[in-house]
Amino acid sequence: MLNRFSRAALVLGLFAVAPPVLAGGEDVVVEDAWSRASIGTGRPGVAYMTLRNTGAEPVVVTGLRTDLAMMPMIHSTTTDAQGVTRMSHMEAVEIAAGEAVALAPGGLHVMLMDLQRPMVEGESYTLSVIFADGTEATVDVPILGIAARGPAN
């Protein structure tokens, strides 16, 4: 089974030959976005959400933007046979037509590298998800408590 990283790499590889038909961010709904409060700015912040592709074509997320962090990126989380957990930067994340990709604790997540200010519980910030066609989906992300495990609702 191909993991998400391999699928993303496959998609990028295909661009060099013949671009697949890819829809843009107008088909993507960002659901249940949330973040945890940070202790300061010395460590990266984290954000989670569900990206739902309501369209009939695959969509590829290629980046993120927020004024809260200089280097927001999507990480994957993998745990090897020895129980060692690693995070790796995802250059692209494909969302199949009609499918949703969950960014959740223990799996894919948004890592907010180089925080520009502390993330304070009760506040929120704007995060834009950038797609391969240049379109964006922008959401307001609420900052929950430092021990939060899921979206508030």
Max Cα-Cα span within the chain = 47
Residue 75 Cβ vs Cu ion, minimum distance, rounded to whole Å: 3
List binders of Cu ion among 123-142 (CB under 5 A): none
String of contacts with Cu ion for each residue 12-31, x by CB under 5 A = --------------------
String of contacts with Cu ion for each residue 83-102, x by CB under 5 A = ----x---------------
Q: How many residues bind Cu ion (CB under 5 A)?
A: 3
From the list 23, 20, 27, the residue with the least C-alpha distance to 51 is 27
Q: Which of 9, 12, 37, 111 binds Cu ion (CB under 5 A)?
A: 111
Query: 98 vs 150, which CB is nearer to Cu ion?
Result: 150
75 sits near Cu ion (criterion: CB under 5 A): yes
